[in-house]
Amino acid sequence: MQHVFIIGSKGIPAQYGGFETFVDKLTENKKSQEIKYHVSCLADNNNEFEYNNARCFNVKVPNIGAAKAVYYDIAALKRCVEYIVQNSIENPIVYVLACRIGPFIGKYKNKITELGGTLMVNPDGHEWKRDKWNFAIKRYWKLSEQLMVKNADLLICDSKNIEKYIQEDYSKYKPKTTFIAYGAETNKSSLRDDDKKLTDWYESHNISAKKYYLVVGRFVPENNYEVMISEFMKSKTDKDFVLITNVEKNKFYEYLKQKTNFENDSRIKFVGTVYDAELLKKIRENAYGYFHGHEVGGTNPSLLEVLATTDLNLLLDVGFNKEVAEDGAVYFNKKEGNLAGLIDSADNFSKDVISNYSDKAKLRIANNYSWDKIVSDYEKVFLSK
């Protein structure tokens, strides 16, 4: 039996995004009976439970602010080592998601090696580039990433661009890497076009199917909301720009309001969050087009979701996005007038042109990013140890 200990997600069942959904899908779609997963879960107790046939162990963490995530990963790692020792587990794999605990990983790596184990790390994206961090925290993230790369036996990158970055920036460590993408659902929403849940939502926001451009995601500067809003305001489109995101008590929201005066443009509609997965999927399906302005990170889950559902996608022209969508999308840059011009052009795309983009995007997801493929790729790696 190959025991795999997964650290770094908030836990399963998934109530968040990103890594939580990944762990949920990895355990839910497990194929091999030779793998046993052990998943750390952030909680206010230290209980254990079974979910998706995985052993889930809660890790109680004090509310200590920004350091909470670091404390959680270290505490979870300590619990894993203790469990491996107590149960005499041979050749365990410890898979750490993200690079939060680099300064502390050395002694645990030595212990895992002593126990005949393997340390695997998912380096995630360029966390040290995010605008929300101050200079000191950015330096910590970069140092932590460096030390995680140095100590990992294998780095599993969910983006080819991240894998290239790891190999080039940390060549002195001769890192061993492999590429396994993130996954996406490929099935359509269970909601019909006339479902009351959908029509009520449309009515409450004065929105009509195929009459809006859409964006869904965290409301942070590095996702280029300023570019998308200001360029949309310059465009001649008669469609709405619907933003599904949480802007409550957000300084960035106030900054954008002053910078762009978007409140004077009735087409721009901040509609809050949508936590109903089927409703959100249907809203994506019914969008005329989708904007994706992310430029920090690896394979972004929201990008995979829209490529699988939305017919026309307008993506920021960076390596991470082009790697995923290839010729299944159109691309914009941050030069003034570029996105506005693209919006005006997209408004006049024929049905055949849009259908062609849609078919290419969905085929790309089905062939390369289905959860079935991702789980198979992971199990090959885990069982090769």
Reduce the DSSP state of residue 245 to 3 states and report it: coil
- pLDDT at site 54: 97
- What is the spatial distance between Cα 241 and Cα 295, in angstroms, rounded to a whole number? 20
- pLDDT at site 118: 98
Strand order in the sheet with 118-122: 48-51, 54-60, 35-43, 2-7, 93-97, 118-122, 154-157, 177-179
- pLDDT at site 128: 55
Q: Architecture of 2-183+370-383 per CATH? A: 3-Layer(aba) Sandwich (3.40)
- What is the spatial distance between Cα 263 and Cα 39, in angstroms, rounded to a whole number? 45
Q: Is the pTM of this model over 0.85?
A: no
User: What number does CATH give the domain 196-368?
Assistant: 3.40.50.2000
% helix, strand, coil for the chain, step of 5: 45, 20, 35
Residue positions counted in the chain? 385
- pLDDT at site 132: 64
Query: What's the sign of the alpha-carbon dihedral 172, 178, 108, 7?
Result: positive
CA 131, 99, 157: angle at the middle one, nearest 5?
A: 100
Burial code (b: 16+ CB inside 10 Å, e: under 16) for 364-378 equals: bbeeebbbeebbebb
- pLDDT digit string (tens) for the chain, length 385 residues: 999 999 999 999 986 668 898 999 999 999 999 999 999 999 999 999 999 999 999 999 988 877 888 999 999 999 999 999 999 999 999 999 999 999 999 999 999 999 999 999 999 866 656 666 666 777 888 889 999 999 999 999 998 888 999 999 999 999 999 999 999 888 899 999 999 999 999 999 999 999 999 999 889 888 999 999 999 999 999 999 999 998 887 889 999 999 999 999 999 999 999 989 899 999 999 999 999 999 876 677 889 999 999 999 999 999 889 999 999 999 999 999 999 999 999 999 999 999 999 999 999 999 999 999 999 999 999 999 7
CATH 3.40.50.2000 boundaries in the chain: 2-183+370-383, 196-368
DSSP structure string for 152-204: -SEEEESSHHHHHHHHHHTGGG---EEE----B--SPPS--TT-HHHHHHHHH
Partners of 292 in the beta sheet? Answer: 315
Tokens 């939580």 belong to residue: 20
Give phi and psi for 86, each to the nearest 5. -60, -30
Tokens 């995101």 belong to residue: 245
